[in-house]
Amino acid sequence: MSTVKRPILSVCCIGEVMIELVNGKDGKIALGVAGDTYNTAVYLKRALKQNDVKVSYCTALGPDPYSEIIRQSLERYGLDTSCIETRADKIPGLYAVDTDDHGERSFTYWRSDAAARTLFQTPAEISLETLNQFDLIYLSGISMAILPANVRSQLIDFIATFRNAGGTFAYDSNYRPKLWEDQATAQEVNARMWGLADIALPSIDDEMELFGDVDEASVVARLHGYGVNTGALKRGAEGPLDLEGKTVAQNLNTVDKVVDSTAAGDSFNAGYLSAFLQGETTQAQMEAGHNLAARVVTYPGAIIPE
């Protein structure tokens, strides 16, 4: 018998927020704040601004000026910051973005000793049990990759218990090979996460790279094998695929020129989840995700103007 899910009145996105350096075409460097689950949280809060759903962000930061910039950014976008751990001896991660003429981006990271890697570890003011106050938890493969193996295992066990108590879990594998010890570990962890996901938001490229699937049908079949039925497979300009297999995406906006593909998947997730939380149809969920992402890629950087 499936667990009855409680109404979703609060969401917690978990992961790492970093200082972003964008290398502009004019040779100037713009400083920003970004990170995959952070990007989703910002866009989700925007989409739900007329709604009573609380959107929180859970991470670890330091006491330094750049951590303060991140805190101010979270607060400026209206995100709840009560689940942020402060580590006296740590600082946030840093990354630089370079974008080619086709809008495709490449990243250079400095994050090996970032505060977010200490999340849920002793001494911890924010424990896993703290997350029980939320109705929906959103995680990504990046969130999992930066954590030590024992903390990952504890988090997986917590998510299982959280779901059994009526909580909802949403996941995006967001595969970044350099963050994982090896591909086999990434496969094992992500397979377990897909098996727990109430809402699955994979990307076709990530899944094929990580698991070696030969085509789209193989990706979908594998996800169904984990028990995944609700969610969307992101396929870029081609449009999302309903993982339940009953709905065809329609009313999808097209983009003449991609300026920067940063946060395309993150914003899709936000659009999809916002429509889900507001009781929209599967078609409306996919449309909201795709069309938000289509707008985001026409601007430079992860967070675009409202």
ω into 202 cis (within 30 of 0): no
Task: Count Cα atoms within 13 angstroms, Cβ side, for 48.
Answer: 30
Tokens matching residue 40: 């989703």
Q: Which of 98, 83, 203, 198 is nearest to 141 (CA)?
A: 203
Per DSSP bridges, beta strands 105-110 and 94-99 are antiparallel
Which amino acid does the sequence have at 8?
A: I
Nearest-angstrom CA–CA distance, 104 and 5: 39
State the helix-helix crossing angle for 216-225 and 204-211, rounded to 10 degrees: 80
The verdict on whether 100 is a catalytic residue reads: no
Catalytic residue among 36, 206, 260, 266: 266
DSSP bridge partners of 248: 241
Measured CA distances, 148 to 93, 185, 264 (Å)? 16, 12, 28
Do 162 and 168 touch, CB atoms closer than 8 A? Answer: no
Residues annotated as catalytic are 266
